Amino acid sequence: MSAATTAAICTLISLLGTIGLAASDPKRLRRKAVRTLRLARIGFVLLTLAPGVWLAATLQGVGFLLWIGASAVLGWVVAALASRATASRRKYLA
């Protein structure tokens, strides 16, 4: 498997974690984090970071750099889309 393919798979896994973190963000949802939500968020953090830790631990430099760069860009995109989704939901409920 090429370095780019490995990095793409790792980025997708991290993207799932990032989406989970955005979906359960108590500040954005204006909801206090209860214990189950906190546990879920810890799981999402692990899901986001684990692929990068694995790439670094296995000394896959190219894969690690691709992963950290792509995850940062996709994280920004997720933050923007999550904010948009929240705004439309609030508009609908109002």
Partner 1 sequence: MIRLPQQETKTLVAIHGWAGTALGLLLYAVIVTGTVAVFAQEIRVWSSGALQSESPLHAPIDATLRRLAGQTPEQFRDDVTLRVTTARNVSAFFHSHVKDEAGQITEKGVVWQVAPDGRVISRRDATRANVFAQDTDGVLGTFFVDLHVRLHLPNPYGLVLTGVLGLAMLAAAVSGLLMHRHLFTDLFTLRGRVRMVGLRDLHTVAASWTLPHAFVLAFTGAFFSFATSIGVPLLAMVAFGGDRAALVETVVGAKEKPDPRPADGVNLDRVLADARARSGGTLISANVDHWGRADAHITVRSGPRDGALGGVTLAYDGATGAFVGEKPSLGTKPSLGNTVFELMGPLHFGNFAGWWSKAVWFALGFASAYVTWSGLGLWLRRRDDRPAWRAFGRVIAWTGAGLPFSMAVSAAAFFLALPSGATPWWTPAGFLIAAAIALLPALVLPAERVAPLLFGATGLVLLALPIIRIASGGPGWMAAFNASQHVIPALDTFVVIGGMICFVCAATALRRTAEGAGFAATMTPAE
What is the per-residue burial (b if ≥16 Cβ within 10 Å, else e) of 40-64?
A: bbeebeebbeebbebbeeeebeebb
Contacts with partner 1 in 71-90 (CB under 8 A)?
Answer: 72-73, 75-76, 78-80, 82-83, 87
- Classify 64 as helix, strand or coil: helix
Cα distance between residue 9 and residue 56, in whole Å: 15
Cβ at position 91, least distance to partner 1 in Å:
11
* 27 near partner 1, judged by CB under 8 A: yes
Within the chain, residue ranges assigned H as helices are 3-23, 26-29, 35-57, 61-93
Contacts with partner 1 in 30-69 (CB under 8 A)?
Answer: 60-62, 65-66, 68-69
Cβ at position 61, least distance to partner 1 in Å:
5
Cβ at position 63, least distance to partner 1 in Å:
8
Give the residues lining the site for partner 1 (CB under 8 A): 2-4, 7-8, 21-22, 25, 27-28, 60-62, 65-66, 68-70, 72-73, 75-76, 78-80, 82-83, 87
